[in-house]
Amino acid sequence: MPITCGELLVRLLEQYDVDTVFGIPGVHTVELYRGLPATNIRHITPRHEQGAGFMADGYARRSGKPGVCFIITGPGMTNIATAMRQAMADSVPMLVISSVNSVAEMGSGEGYLHEMPDQRATMEQLCAFSKTIWRAQDLPKALAQAFNVFAGARPQPVHIQIPVDVITAAADEIPIRVGALTQAPEPASALLDRAAELLARAHRPLICYGGGAQAAGQGVATQLAERLDAPTLLTANGKGLLPAGHPLSLGSNQSFEPARELIREADVVLALGTEMGQTDYDTEANAGFPQPECLIRVDIDPAQLNRPYLASLAIAGDANVAMRGLLERLPAHSDRGGAQAAAAVRARLIEKLTPAMAGQCALLKLIRDTLPGVAFVGDSTQPVYFGTIAFEATEPGTWFNSATGYGTLGYGLPAAIGARLASDQPALAIIGDGGIQFTLPELMAAVDHGIPAIILIWHNNGYGEIRDYMKSRDLPTIGEDIAAPDYRVVCSGLGAASARIESAADLCTQLKTAAAADGPTVLEIHEQDAFIRELGADHVWFS
């Protein structure tokens, strides 16, 4: 039977191992759906295109595969724009396939449905590239280009738009053929030799691991840190690359003076797979992070190697390959006093641990220990801010949030849905009572599809973090004191399970029940609950 370009698309996606698509069908995209029943691709329907993008983001981070979205022309694309920029900021692979007006109507200015002056030009600022498919035969090449970005370059969103009349064009003469995928470039051997020489001679080395080092795994990352006897800092997306409580771990404390002093004293700093951006290295925005005396940077993106800090040795390539290459070149472990230096810094950091931080981080640790393998999917809310500093993940890829990078609200709930779809392990969103109102309707998507995502609402009566920020600067508190619905009533109406948590024992019981459920569960904790303070009293940081 003859097939259309839309049918060719889903067959090609299946060949690229796509098993899930997030989207809301509309009159300009329905022809993308014609061929779905003939594939093994499942379709998840969010309640808003921004939710589709956040779900694809969470799915990609947890699965390691690009999240794929089908998005309507015009408003659908502007709705997903925030999610695309969040994914771009955090190097998350996402394929956004949209419709666009017919070839004759594009850019006409005559008021056609969903018309934009230049949709592709608008979206190209939010992705690695944005491409229009003018002929059905161009589709296989465009998809090959997109999946090569995901496989061999810095992962970022890609946007492919197809005019509605091209979607329905005949494509039965076009072979269903995928392009060969490249691998991430390997670092130059001579540069790795030079890096190993510098590190072998160093007396006070220090390591900074970022999310780009995740694929190496905890074993390789730990072995490299121990080989160098180097105190090690982890970005939010690098959490878990050292085991919780490891004697060389400094956690994610690049923005605090005790860790910065150690960086100033280091004779070589090795930064692997990290952009060294403000939301990891200068959270107080005081421009206090020091330019290291000797900075070795390894990054898959050559453009990143000298920003925002100049490298002494810049190595373009896969950080994971570089880590293994350095291990092959470095001599056996020698004692450089790294563990003792790290312990001294940790002791000074612990002095700064406030009761609020201790309680919230103890809460996160309790969840981690109750649900082994759980992925924490955070929004911009207080426990996520504190956890990004002080929480120790047990494995890479199990702590990610929207509080770093682009920093949007509303991410946690839909991203946790995507993460749970990607893995049999639990996924738990941490989101404030204000932030969840951005994307609360996405709870219905989890109900629709029986997705047992766990949603932990941190209730602090509105935008608590913003309220505290205003007060700290002697500003009038305006606009932060928003009302919240009775979430148990809301969940009852939506068909989701819910519970108000008032003790640690109750939390553990509810978490286990939620993880085994056949749909989403919302758990609500209030900031002032006594059991949070009780947990904090016994909390041990760096564990």
Spatial separation of the C-alpha atoms in residues 77 and 86, rounded to whole Å = 14
Per-residue pLDDT, averaged over 344-366, amounts to 91
CA trace torsion 209, 213, 219, 220 (10° rounding): -90
Q: In this predicted model, what pLDDT tens digit does every residue of 293-349 receive, in sequence order?
A: 999 999 999 999 999 999 999 999 999 999 999 999 999 988 999 999 999 999 999
Spatial separation of the C-alpha atoms in residues 157 and 247, rounded to whole Å = 37
Sheet hosting strand 375-378, strand order edge to edge: 399-401, 375-378, 427-432, 454-459, 521-526, 497-500
Q: Tell me what pLDDT residue 405 has.
A: 83
Task: Give me the phi and psi of 336, to 5 degrees please.
Answer: -110, 10
Q: In this predicted model, what pLDDT tens digit does every residue of 39-71 receive, in sequence order?
A: 999 999 999 999 999 999 999 999 999 999 999
Q: E-strand spans in 307-387?
A: 313-316, 375-378
Contact indicator for 171, 136 with CB cutoff of 8 Å: yes
Alpha-carbon distance values, 82 to 70, 89, 388, 498 (Å): 16, 11, 22, 29
Return the HEC string of 128-182.
CCEEECCCHHHHHHHHHHHHHHHHHCCCCEEEEEEEHHHHCCECCCCCCCCCCCC
Q: E-strand spans in 226-367?
A: 232-234, 268-272, 295-299, 313-316
Per-residue pLDDT, averaged over 494-523, amounts to 97
Query: How many other CB atoms are found less than 10 A from the CB of residue 370?
Result: 17
pLDDT category of residue 111 using cuts at 50, 70 and 90: confident
Spatial separation of the C-alpha atoms in residues 392 and 412, rounded to whole Å = 19
Q: Tell me what pLDDT residue 113 has.
A: 87
Q: Tell me what pLDDT residue 285 has.
A: 80
How far the first Cα of the chain sits from its last, in Å, is 61
pLDDT category of residue 500 using cuts at 50, 70 and 90: very high
- Please name each of the domains of the chain with its CATH number: 5-167 (3.40.50.970), 189-349 (3.40.50.1220), 353-537 (3.40.50.970)
pLDDT at position 108 over 90 = no
pLDDT at position 148 over 90 = yes
Query: How many other CB atoms are found less than 10 A from the CB of residue 28?
Result: 23
Spatial separation of the C-alpha atoms in residues 369 and 386, rounded to whole Å = 18
pLDDT at position 354 over 90 = no
Q: What is the DSSP letter of 30?
A: G
pLDDT category of residue 542 using cuts at 50, 70 and 90: confident
Q: In this predicted model, what pLDDT tens digit does every residue of 227-271 receive, in sequence order?
A: 999 999 999 999 999 999 999 999 999 999 999 999 999 999 999
> Which has the minimum average pLDDT: 44-48, 50-54, 83-87, 472-476?
472-476
pLDDT at position 115 over 90 = no
Spatial separation of the C-alpha atoms in residues 221 and 10, rounded to whole Å = 38
pLDDT category of residue 119 using cuts at 50, 70 and 90: very high
pLDDT at position 541 over 90 = no
pLDDT category of residue 1 using cuts at 50, 70 and 90: confident
Q: What is the DSSP letter of 235?
A: -
Contact indicator for 208, 254 with CB cutoff of 8 Å: yes
Half-sphere exposure for 274 (CA within 13 Å, toward CB): 31
Per-residue pLDDT, averaged over 8-20, amounts to 97
pLDDT category of residue 189 using cuts at 50, 70 and 90: very high
Per-residue pLDDT, averaged over 453-474, amounts to 91
pLDDT at position 93 over 90 = yes
Spatial separation of the C-alpha atoms in residues 44 and 309, rounded to whole Å = 42
Q: What average pLDDT does the structure give for the chain? A: 95
Contact indicator for 106, 75 with CB cutoff of 8 Å: no
Give pTM, 2 decimals.
Answer: 0.95
Q: Tell me what pLDDT residue 167 has.
A: 97
pLDDT at position 468 over 80 = yes
Spatial separation of the C-alpha atoms in residues 114 and 72, rounded to whole Å = 8
Q: Tell me what pLDDT residue 57 has.
A: 98
Q: In this predicted model, what pLDDT tens digit does every residue of 394-448 receive, in sequence order?
A: 999 999 999 888 989 999 999 999 999 999 999 999 999 999 999 999 999 999 9
Q: Tell me what pLDDT residue 288 has.
A: 85
